[in-house]
Structure 1
Amino acid sequence: MMKTPNKTYKSKTAALLDDPYLQNYRTSIERRKELIDYKKKKYAGSGNLADFANGHHYYGLHKTASGNWKFREWAPNARKIFLIGDFSDWKELPEFELRRISKRGDWEIELGDEKIQHEMLYKLKVYWDGGEGERIPAYTKRAVQDFNTNIFSAQVWEPEKPYVFKHSRPEAEEPLIYEAHTGMAGEAEEVSSFIHFADDIIPYIAGCGYNTIQLMAVMEHPYYGSFGYHVSNYFAVSSRFGTPEDFKYLVDKAHSFGLRLVMDIVHSHSVKNEQEGLARFDGTIYQYFHEGEKGNHWLWDSFCFDYSKPEVVHFLLSNCKYWLEEYNIDGFRFDGITSMLYSHHGLGKDFTSYDDYFQGDTDEDAFCYLALANELTHQINPKAVTIAEDVSGMPGLCCPAAQGGCGFDFRMAMGVTDCWFKLLDIPDESWDITYLTRELLNKRAEEKTISYVESHDQALVGGKTAIFTLIDKEMYFNMHTGSENLIIDRGIALHKIMRIATVFTGDSGYLNFMGNEFGHPEWIDFPREGNGWSYKYARRQWSLKDNQNLRYRHLLNFDNEAVKLAGREQIYKFDPCLLHFDNQDKVFAVKRGELVLFVNLHPEKSYEGYGIECLPGKYEIAISSDKKFSGASKG
């Protein structure tokens, strides 16, 4: 990559209907806009969404102004409810029976201060016609597991000295994202903690040049191996990593290093567990979820929310507000929104026509919910960032609701990683540079995207990371600095090229999953019966990057150089311009701001004096994948 003094600033964002192909769908787009406005007025009235999204202040367990405790729950199909717990010796006592206070199904109880104490365990015992069951309150702010019985209970969390944030939120920047998972962030074969992540991993991330952490698996989930995607308790941090105060410390620590913290938020589906989650909470499936097949995600083995119900929207919007205000986070990456947006959940569906986005398969209630969630998030924190994970490519996700869009700040450029891994499956000489450059640079004019070579998805058991796809078993034997191995040399070279090309051509941001910056070996596999409940593959072997005799450190050094260059030059403020590509030569060149990227992917030829038309001036090499790092004999 070379540096030149010329700059070209990024053009203004286009409007959704500037796309001439969308003119045929103007009626559908206008209808969505009207539906968003209608629902906003329905929920917020003459006020705003932030006033509506206060379910967490009303429901659940709270201290009153008088010092007593008040608990409320929404359970319309219930016939009788008791609070049971340490305070009642887990018995259904008359003094702990809730009373129904509204026709819509709200229940309430008020108890004296002496009855409830910090860290007590409790649940609800819910009765309905023809059945009964123990339930964890929907708005509980902490749930803990008894590791002898594996049973979860709600826990009273009212510390005498709650954590006080010391650092303000960092200013918004074009995101250079480090995707991470707290539990597998340690090297020991165990579940790591919020405190370890804060003290040991956050300084490392900052030192690597990233400015944003995207943290997975924050919300409580009963099965560790779900990677945090089978959520049970939406207002509770996962207790296996620490306490609410520990997570606040982690967020504050990130802010102290100038890092923003964006959390994965899973509003696309919910775990089917009845005793831990929302499933059949009041004896019905349809309280929070659709009935029948519409409410069943057969592939994920989970239930799908009914976004047409005001109570469900109230619950989910309140959840957004809670995380922003209680934990001072900087935004959300909304997971699995393809599943939300379509009745077919995107399963087995190829999106080949604009009809696929605007016909009967689209769940417009879900689209409206996402638009309201985006508006609420930015209303509470104007600097917040929202990211959409969508494989369908629906137009308008990153357009304002006023244009009939959904209001996300960014979407994941999922076609980029698909492109790289498709190319890795074919011989080098067959790589299509036209296809590659199109995927690297292609985006809708009105949207901002975040590119990545690989995320956690590519590393899960059954798949392979980029480095393992490139090197495979040779990684076990020939990653030492003195190795003479063409497979290793090729793998390291391509690993570097893939990253610098993706960082440099990304529209508005870049993402890397924890450990991939130094080519972490093997896959991710959480403890389960099939692997003997082993943590061997549910951790990060950080010592590999520090070993002076191994070549992982060369990959890390290059990644650090590339990410820091992107941040220092603020490359995402400028539009990328494709200067040249040649399928036969396997060469392409892209200009961005003061930088020009030259990429040679030919498996045999190294070019000298290769002619590409650029502006006249003096150029110098800013970064090179051939450069030797840290005494390496090879790049």
Structure 2
Amino acid sequence: MIKHLKIIESDPMLIDYQYVIQKRLNAASQKEREITKSTLSDFANGHHYYGLHRNSNHWIIREWAPNADKMFLIGEFSDWQEHADYQFKKIENGNFELKLPLASLKQADFYKLLLHWPGGKGERIPVWCTRVVQDAKTLIYSAQVWQSELPFEWKYESKRVKYKSPLIYEAHIGMATEKEGVGTYNEFRELVLPRIHKAGYNTIQLMAIQEHPYYGSFGYHVSSLFAASSRFGTPEELKQLIDAAHSLGIMVIMDIIHSHAVKNELEGIGNFDGSPYQFFHADERREHIAWDSLCYDYGKNEVLHLLLSNIKYWLEEYHFDGYRFDGVTSMLYYDHGLSRDFTSYEMYFDGGQDEDAICYLTLANKLIHEYNPNAISVAEEMSGYPGLASSLEDGGLDFDFRLAMGIPDYWIKLIKETLDENWDVGKIFYELSNKRYEEKTISYAESHDQALVGDQTLIFRLIEKAMYDSMDKSSENLVVDRGIALHKLIRLLTISCSGNGYLNFMGNEFGHPEWIDFPRVGNNWSYKHARRQWSLVDNQLLRFETLNEFDKDMIALQNKEEFINEPYINCVQSDQGNQVLAVQRKDLLFVYNLNPNESFTHYGIPANSGKYQLVLNSDEKKYGGFDRVDGNLLYYSKPEALMSNKHRIYLYLPSRTALVFKYIPTKRIF
């Protein structure tokens, strides 16, 4: 039966694909009925059954290993050898179970599994373990007993909220401190969290939380789905961090990596029970052609059980407020989206899509919202898949937000290929505001992607080598002046034209210099570029402080006025000849003069009748500007002609400057 779908109503070009869309929705509903007896939340409880657990009488550990013949628990308690006292019992459906007296294991013991399968055997870290630690000397990873006798005391549950417009501070725990080493959960809570709160961001997106054997992977080659990375501290310390964020009214979402997994067999799950296809594809689809990793087989119910349980685990155990799903494009298409240009709608519905992955993502989002209606999900997706961030009822996959990945790419392309005296303000507005009407998006000028080795941050593209010797406030450098002005304009343009949320990677708000380069052979395992130099922004003699002040006040303006909650973005002026752009959001009028050479006096901007107050001026001295605009003036609109209902406000627009005005309606007197 074909139902009426709102995504087709909002985009009639989808009418030819209505059958495919409905078929995908039906497949998700059918799969849900197949795997659940009541709710998805009840189904996604694998972490309560599998893994190591302690009750009042004994320890119990279970794992699913259908290809294995025998399984042993090994550790210091067994001299790391298989022993009859630690042999699992094979029970139904390929499951293994071992019960032990409480005295057999103690807190912080290291352990592994030793599996036997037809033709071989091997040591493995349990799939469902919740803590994995690397030995500092041998560099070998082992699971670790970590069972607190008392449950963690959450102090600030009542302060957890859901924001209509997330202002996301993307952060990596390990590189968040200034030291040349790996930062910790505690250091982040004590040193960085207060900065985020002061900056006004209402959501933190934590990267690299799931355990990963190679630090330089940025957390994207996950080995243990349920283990919070021990290189940053203990599970309790991560919970303290999240609880502290909640105390400040800040949501915490997690980068979740379900698009692929690390190939490592000793640390990962790629060949856990001796079969390569236990969780992953067995054919040519097993290995990701671009990421040197393994691809999950989302068609297997056991894989759905694993991943959906993982979704619930982090929400339940750590009180995360949602997820940013990594690599969604890679999941949606058999070719991972690598050989498609997505220039026609047929490419979303031509049979080259992984229907099992689409089903999984649909169920994952339904589970998130079923378990915690206030949790959010954000998709990292670049193909423009229709319905991605539409509700299930409307015919979509039910993500709350889509990352507007084309915007940072557009800024880089513009800076690299076009002199700013030739920037087309109309095209800039189109690129920043263009989105599917029915979807909410998270816009950003740059994330961590633009800061990795091989690429450059926006500030470095704009200033280049002058970054090293001309960032003190006493210096005079036209390149730095230009770079600072454009850095502010780019960010304000992005947020003022954004769909429904905004993202910034830590440090980029103040123009953090240089790139991100994790320790590796090529840099002699140096941490020099895998950290954040907060002392730069704290130094009042340097210009980094001015960029930080502008970002803080820009975010404060959104927090006060909530202008990106307004779905309609009105472009009231697009003057390509003079490079002047004016955008109206709610009661705010954003006026941009991108002209690098010309300032304009008495420039008329179409406006509603009334008076206007200047509430943000990128040219203020405290923002690294030149104080060319009087911030104390009130601006009154004037009719374009005698008795005309059309009004304008007339402004002085300095070059490379943005001015934001608050509209104050004029009271009528009868």
- TM-score above 0.5, yes or no: yes
Does residue 1:616 correspond to 2:609, yes or no? yes
1:594 aligned partner: 587
Tell me, which stretches of 5 or more residues in structure 1 are unaligned?
1-12
Alpha-carbon distance, 1:462 to partner: 0.5
Mapping 1:401-420, distance limit 5 Å: 401-420=392-411
Alpha-carbon distance, 1:132 to partner: 1.2
1:105 aligned partner: 94
Task: Check whether the contact 2:205–2:252 (CA below 8 A) recurs between aligned residues.
Answer: yes
CA separation of 1:50 and 1:401: change in aligned 2, threshold 3 A? same
Does residue 1:23 correspond to 2:12, yes or no? no
- Report the AA paired with residue 345 of structure 1: H
Secondary structure of 1:588's match?
A: strand
Task: Check whether the contact 1:16–1:396 (CA below 8 A) recurs between aligned residues.
Answer: no
2:292 aligned partner: 301
Mapping 1:332-371, distance limit 5 Å: 332-371=323-362
Alpha-carbon distance, 1:505 to partner: 1.2
Does residue 1:385 correspond to 2:376, yes or no? yes
Does residue 1:38 correspond to 2:38, yes or no? no
Distance 2:114 2:68 in 1: 10
1:5 aligned partner: none
Secondary structure of 1:368's match?
A: helix
Distance 1:624 1:502 in 2: 16
Does residue 1:289 correspond to 2:280, yes or no? yes
Mapping 1:68-147, distance limit 5 Å: 68-102=58-92, 104-147=93-136
Distance 1:279 1:563 in 2: 43
2:634 aligned partner: none
- Report the AA paired with residue 127 of structure 1: H
Does residue 1:248 correspond to 2:239, yes or no? yes
Alpha-carbon distance, 1:404 to partner: 2.8
- Report the AA paired with residue 148 of structure 1: K
Greater CA drift, 23-32 or 394-403: 394-403
Secondary structure of 1:619's match?
A: strand
Secondary structure of 1:608's match?
A: strand
2:644 aligned partner: none
- Report the AA paired with residue 19 of structure 1: D
1:153 aligned partner: 142
Distance 1:398 1:559 in 2: 28
- Report the AA paired with residue 101 of structure 1: I
Alpha-carbon distance, 1:17 to partner: 4.0
Task: Check whether the contact 1:337–1:388 (CA below 8 A) recurs between aligned residues.
Answer: yes
Distance 1:391 1:109 in 2: 45
Distance 2:278 2:43 in 1: 20
2:631 aligned partner: none
Does residue 1:555 correspond to 2:544, yes or no? no
- Report the AA paired with residue 366 of structure 1: A
Distance 1:391 1:94 in 2: 52
Secondary structure of 1:530's match?
A: helix
Tell me, which stretches of 5 or more residues in structure 2 are unaligned?
628-656, 658-670
What do residues 527-571 of structure 1 show as CA deviations (whole Å, max 9, x unaligned)?
Answer: 000000000000000000011111000000000000110111111
1:443 aligned partner: 435
Distance 1:111 1:244 in 2: 24
Task: Check whether the contact 1:14–1:445 (CA below 8 A) recurs between aligned residues.
Answer: no
- Report the AA paired with residue 104 of structure 2: K
Distance 2:49 2:415 in 1: 53
Task: Check whether the contact 2:619–2:625 (CA below 8 A) recurs between aligned residues.
Answer: no
Alpha-carbon distance, 1:239 to partner: 0.3
Task: Check whether the contact 2:321–2:376 (CA below 8 A) recurs between aligned residues.
Answer: yes
Q: CA RMSD in A?
A: 1.4
Distance 2:288 2:577 in 1: 45
- Report the AA paired with residue 178 of structure 1: Y
Alpha-carbon distance, 1:170 to partner: 2.3
CA separation of 1:576 and 1:100: change in aligned 2, threshold 3 A? same
Greater CA drift, 386-395 or 415-424: 415-424
Does residue 1:484 correspond to 2:473, yes or no? no
2:532 aligned partner: 540
1:272 aligned partner: 263
Alpha-carbon distance, 1:61 to partner: 0.7
What do residues 483-542 of structure 1 show as CA deviations (whole Å, max 9, x unaligned)?
Answer: 111100000000000111111111100000000010000000000000000000000000
What do residues 158-187 of structure 1 show as CA deviations (whole Å, max 9, x unaligned)?
Answer: 123442110015221110110000000000
1:585 aligned partner: 578
Q: Over alpha carbons, which structure has the higher Rg?
A: 2
Aligned length: 620
Task: Check whether the contact 2:484–2:624 (CA below 8 A) recurs between aligned residues.
Answer: no
Distance 2:460 2:589 in 1: 29
Secondary structure of 1:386's match?
A: strand
2:638 aligned partner: none
Distance 1:632 1:427 in 2: 21
Distance 2:268 2:426 in 1: 48
Larger RCO (alpha carbons 8 Å, 6+ apart): 1
Secondary structure of 1:294's match?
A: coil
The TM-score with structure 1 as length reference comes to 0.96
1:499 aligned partner: 491
- Report the AA paired with residue 434 of structure 1: G
Task: Check whether the contact 1:232–1:277 (CA below 8 A) recurs between aligned residues.
Answer: yes
Task: Check whether the contact 1:73–1:137 (CA below 8 A) recurs between aligned residues.
Answer: yes
1:167 aligned partner: 156
2:45 aligned partner: 54
Task: Check whether the contact 2:259–2:330 (CA below 8 A) recurs between aligned residues.
Answer: yes
1:311 aligned partner: 302
Does residue 1:510 correspond to 2:499, yes or no? no
Alpha-carbon distance, 1:89 to partner: 1.6
Task: Check whether the contact 1:16–1:405 (CA below 8 A) recurs between aligned residues.
Answer: no
Task: Check whether the contact 1:221–1:230 (CA below 8 A) recurs between aligned residues.
Answer: yes
Task: Check whether the contact 1:52–1:314 (CA below 8 A) recurs between aligned residues.
Answer: yes
1:192 aligned partner: 183
- Report the AA paired with residue 85 of structure 2: E
- Report the AA paired with residue 382 of structure 1: P
- Aligned-pair identity in percent equals 54
- Report the AA paired with residue 611 of structure 2: K
Mapping 1:183-222, distance limit 5 Å: 183-222=174-213
- Report the AA paired with residue 146 of structure 2: W
Distance 2:76 2:248 in 1: 41
Secondary structure of 2:175's match?
A: coil
CA separation of 1:204 and 1:473: change in aligned 2, threshold 3 A? same
What do residues 29-88 of structure 1 show as CA deviations (whole Å, max 9, x unaligned)?
Answer: 11011001101101113x110000000001011113x42011110011111111101221
Distance 1:88 1:435 in 2: 68
Distance 2:438 2:624 in 1: 45
Task: Check whether the contact 1:557–1:629 (CA below 8 A) recurs between aligned residues.
Answer: yes
Distance 2:27 2:339 in 1: 29
CA separation of 1:530 and 1:598: change in aligned 2, threshold 3 A? same
Task: Check whether the contact 1:163–1:245 (CA below 8 A) recurs between aligned residues.
Answer: yes
CA separation of 1:621 and 1:633: change in aligned 2, threshold 3 A? closer
Distance 1:113 1:282 in 2: 27
1:7 aligned partner: none
